[in-house]
Structure 1
Amino acid sequence: MSVEPLRLEPFVSSDDATKALASLGLESATLTTSVLRGVRQAQNVTNFHPVTARGFVQWSETVGALREQLNEQEWTQADPQNSPRVFSPDGLTSIMVIGGNANTALSKDVIPGTARRRGPATDAAVQCNGQQVLDLVFELPVVKQTQVPLTWVLLYHWSRDEPVVRAELSLPAQITNGDITQWTQRIILPPIDLSDFEISRRPIGPQDDVDFRIVELP
């Protein structure tokens, strides 16, 4: 399969995000709306729920909102290794949703990571990305079909100390000990205003999404 050489700016600010997202067939509003739905649904979690409920609800509702909106644009969904993704109509792009750490969507000088260590599904996707990016940068004539699509991450962070949710759509290139440590491109999304939320209702417990391990039973 012949693929054009990759030309990606390492960092794209929110002011310039529209063009970068358009090249992927995406709009900023689709992504920010998905993240906002996750946050709002997580507000229904009470102290009577398990301590991990808020983070799980926020993550799963973000996944659901993203898939629902992109389904209307002929994107498709699948769950490789039980890890939920959404795939572009041309099959060259996929997106996974992950909770990010406090460095998420701050600046080009601060490298974000994941809120919690990731499992084998994320590891496999990032390793594939890293190899494919190298192939494309060095303009190798053929990239194996098994190496596409490139898997992007919708990374979000919500802190009780800020009345906003910060998010970015970024292409991971390296993962070390379960944490993404290198990104080929980061597209920063506009911050999502949460000033109408009560501070006491902002998240106070674990805010992790879920990764999966597939174990073959004897």
Structure 2
Amino acid sequence: MLKHPAQPPDGSTKIVSPDEADARLREWGLSVEHFRKSVTYGDDARKRVDQPWYPRTYAGVAMWAETLAGLRRQLKKLQQGWKIGRTGNYETVYSQEKRLAFAVVAGDKYTGTRGKRHPKLTRKRGPKTRERVERNAEFVQPTLWGDIGGNRSASPQSADLTPDEDCSTWFLVVHADDDEIRLELSLARDIGDGLVGEWVERILIPPIPSSGAVAPIESDEDDDDDGESMVFRATSR
């Protein structure tokens, strides 16, 4: 049975240290390297386009897109039922069987560390993200941390959702510092004023050495808000 995190009674956040991250991810049939490699793919793409003739923000867009693409390619190779999710233009990789989805986002300087506070995402989120975060509560077990496990039971609402929405949605949070890229895999529990910064669980992943790295720039929040396609196609008349 797939293990989902349990919600502590006091609402605190469980933090999985980098040396324990592999053991936690093995519960899902995954490893730290799946996520580190995906971020490395993104950073390699960033290096190729970090040139003056490209638009200023393009390196960040490439970082986000190639990180997500790299994660999708790796997980699909596992032959564990991982698929591409993009309902409402919300881009994820997900498993219907595990009822688990991953999205790539940018975090602030507290990403990947036990800092003075938990990290926050760097951009305000729209209704699609809010729906995902609120749905996460349905997958969290209201028990002590030592009693982790269990899937969400079926509900009438789930019948109205597409498979990539009927999941808990974890964020691969990425932050680029001067000489390294810090990352973590975290489950949000509250979106507050639009800046996600409250977490059920944070799985800290060892950083990746890199100079000149940039934060991933995700697709426009307007697309997240209203589901309009980023691709415009000519229509016949």
TM-score, structure 2 as length reference: 0.76
The reply on whether 1:155 has 2:164 as its aligned counterpart is no
The reply on whether 1:64 has 2:69 as its aligned counterpart is yes
Corresponding residue for 2:234? none
Report the alpha carbon displacement of residue 66 of structure 1 after superposing the two structures with TM: 0.3
Corresponding residue for 2:209? 193
The reply on whether 1:22 has 2:26 as its aligned counterpart is yes
Given that 1:101 and 1:114 are in contact with CA atoms closer than 8 Å, whether structure 2 keeps it comes out as: yes
CA distance 1:171–1:47, shift in 2 (3 Å): same
Corresponding residue for 1:7? 6
Paired residue type of 2:34: T
Distance 2:62 2:37 in 1: 15
Report the alpha carbon displacement of residue 114 of structure 1 after superposing the two structures with TM: 0.9
Given that 1:170 and 1:185 are in contact with CA atoms closer than 8 Å, whether structure 2 keeps it comes out as: yes
RMSD between aligned alpha carbons? Answer: 2.7
Distance 2:40 2:3 in 1: 35
Report the alpha carbon displacement of residue 48 of structure 1 after superposing the two structures with TM: 2.2
CA distance 1:29–1:4, shift in 2 (3 Å): closer
| Number of residues of Structure 1 aligned to a counterpart in Structure 2 | 204
Report the alpha carbon displacement of residue 177 of structure 1 after superposing the two structures with TM: 2.2
SS at structure 2 position matched to 1:115: coil
CA distance 1:27–1:140, shift in 2 (3 Å): closer
Unmatched tracts of structure 1, length 5 or more: none
Corresponding residue for 2:136? 129
TM-score, structure 1 as length reference: 0.83
SS at structure 1 position matched to 2:88: helix
CA distance 1:4–1:65, shift in 2 (3 Å): closer
The reply on whether 1:37 has 2:44 as its aligned counterpart is no
Report the alpha carbon displacement of residue 141 of structure 1 after superposing the two structures with TM: 8.5
| Percent of residue pairs identical | 28
Paired residue type of 1:97: V
Distance 2:170 2:55 in 1: 30
Distance 1:191 1:57 in 2: 20
Distance 1:192 1:44 in 2: 18
Given that 1:17 and 1:189 are in contact with CA atoms closer than 8 Å, whether structure 2 keeps it comes out as: yes
CA distance 1:71–1:3, shift in 2 (3 Å): closer
Corresponding residue for 1:82? 89
Paired residue type of 1:187: I
